[in-house]
Amino acid sequence: MPHKYVTFSRNIFIPVTNVCRNACDYCVFRARSREDAYVTSVRDFLNVVRHKGAATEALFTAGENPERAYLSSFFKDRIIEAGFTSLVAYTKELCKLAIQHGLLPHCNLGVLSKEELEELRDVNASMGLMLETTAAELDAHKNSPGKDPAVRLKMIEEAGELKIPFTTGLLVGIGEDKEDRIRSLEAIKSVHERYEHIQEVIVQPFLPKPSTAMWNRKPPRFEELKEVVRVAKEILPEEIAIQVPPNLTLPKELIELGASDLGGISERTIDYINPESPWPREAELRSKVAPFELMERLPIYPRFIKKGWYSEELKPLIERYADEDGFRVR
C-alpha cells in the first residue's frame, strides 16, 4: 500500500564550487575552464541565506575533490583568499553560518574520507552521496575516478559507522542495465542492514544536456523509471524512502508504485545540476500529487530525530522546526 502522503523539504541550493576532479559524460555542472569556474563567496552565500524564506535546509553541493582537479590552482587560490585550505574546511564554515541563519545543512560534496565526514558530521543534519550505479567501467564514467562504485560504497559505509543520516540514489539511464540496477539496490540494502543509516534512495533519471558528451543519448523511458521504483520497493527495507525528483519526472504514478518523497524544492534557488528543469511551486506540486497529501519534513527524517542522531549544534533548530512526530511543525 502506498503512503497516503508524500514528503518534501524546503531548501536553498548552494553550489560551493563547480571545480571537479571527475568529468562525467552527462554533466553540465562541472567547470570546463577558468572562465566558467567559481567558488561561492561567503558574501554571495549570505545574500542567498538572508532570503531563505520558509526553507529549513541548506543543500551544499560541490564538484568532487577540487583540490585534485585540472582547475585545482583556480580553486586553491579562491579558497586561500577566503582564509581556508580545503573544500571541507570552507564548507564547514558555510554550514556554521547556515545554522546561525536558521538552516539545517545537508552536504553532498562527492567522495569524502572518513576523517572529512567526521569533520562535517556535527554541522550536518544529514549528508549524501549518489551511488549512481554499481556498474563499473561505464563509458560515461571513463574520466571519473570518483565514480568507482567500490569507492562510493566505502564512503556510504563509513557514514554508517559515524551514524550520519544518509541519502543516496541511482542515476538511471547512464549505460547500466536492469541487472545493474538490482545490484545497486541490493548493495544499498546491504550497507543499510549493517548501519541503519540510509534515510532515502533517490531514483533520478539521466537527462541529456546540450554541450555534454551524452547530448544525443535518450533519457530512460517513463516505463523504465516505474520499473526501478517497483523493484526498489521490493528490495529496500520499508523504512527507506524512495525519492523521485518532481522537476525531472511525473511523480504521481511513481508514488502509486511506492515512492514516498519528492526531495528538496526551492523557491529561491535553481537546481544547479539540472538547471533547465525548474522546481514546481508548492501549489502546483500539491495538485500534481493529489490525492496524496504533501507533508513537509526536515533534511533529517523523523526516525533519526527520534533516535537522537544529531549534534548539540543542531538541536535548537531541530527542536524549533520539528513537531512531535518529527515532521515540520505547521
Closest listed residue to residue 261, CA positions, set 238, 287, 237, 294: 294
d(Cα 254, Cα 238) in Å, to the nearest integer? Answer: 16
CA separation, residue 325 to residues 155, 214, 258, 330 (Å): 30, 44, 21, 12
Q: Which is nearer to ligand SF4, 29 or 84 (CB)?
A: 29
Q: How far is CA 200 from the centre of its chain?
A: 10
What minimum distance in Å lies between the beta carbon of 315 and ligand SF4?
Answer: 32
What minimum distance in Å lies between the beta carbon of 173 and ligand SF4?
Answer: 14
Q: Which is nearer to ligand SF4, 248 or 255 (CB)?
A: 248
Closest listed residue to residue 147, CA positions, set 20, 256, 329, 260: 20
What minimum distance in Å lies between the beta carbon of 20 and ligand SF4?
Answer: 3
Residues 37 and 74: beta-carbon distance below 8 Å = yes
Q: Which is nearer to ligand SF4, 34 or 315 (CB)?
A: 34
What minimum distance in Å lies between the beta carbon of 131 and ligand SF4?
Answer: 13
Which string of DSSP letters, residue by residue, matches 166-227? EEEEEEETSS--HHHHHHHHHHHHHHHHHH--EEEEEEEE----TTSTTTTSPPPPHHHHHH
CB-count exposure of residue 228 (10 Å: 0-12, 13-18, 19+): buried
Q: Within the chain, what is the greatest distance between any pair of CA atoms?
A: 54
Strands 261-265 and 293-296: unpaired
- CB atoms inside a 10 Å sphere around CB 214: 20
Q: Which is nearer to ligand SF4, 56 or 61 (CB)?
A: 61
Q: Which is nearer to ligand SF4, 26 or 321 (CB)?
A: 26
Binding residues for ligand SF4, rule: CB under 6 A, are 20, 22-24, 27, 29-30, 63-64, 110, 144, 146
Q: Which is nearer to ligand SF4, 144 or 260 (CB)?
A: 144
What minimum distance in Å lies between the beta carbon of 143 and ligand SF4?
Answer: 8
What minimum distance in Å lies between the beta carbon of 176 and ligand SF4?
Answer: 15
Find the radius of gyration of the CA atoms of the chain: 18
d(Cα 305, Cα 298) in Å, to the nearest integer? Answer: 10
Q: Which is nearer to ligand SF4, 47 or 143 (CB)?
A: 143
What minimum distance in Å lies between the beta carbon of 157 and ligand SF4?
Answer: 19
What minimum distance in Å lies between the beta carbon of 65 and ligand SF4?
Answer: 9
Sole residue written with cell 571541507: 88
Number of H helices, E strands in the chain: 11, 9
Q: Which is nearer to ligand SF4, 23 or 231 (CB)?
A: 23
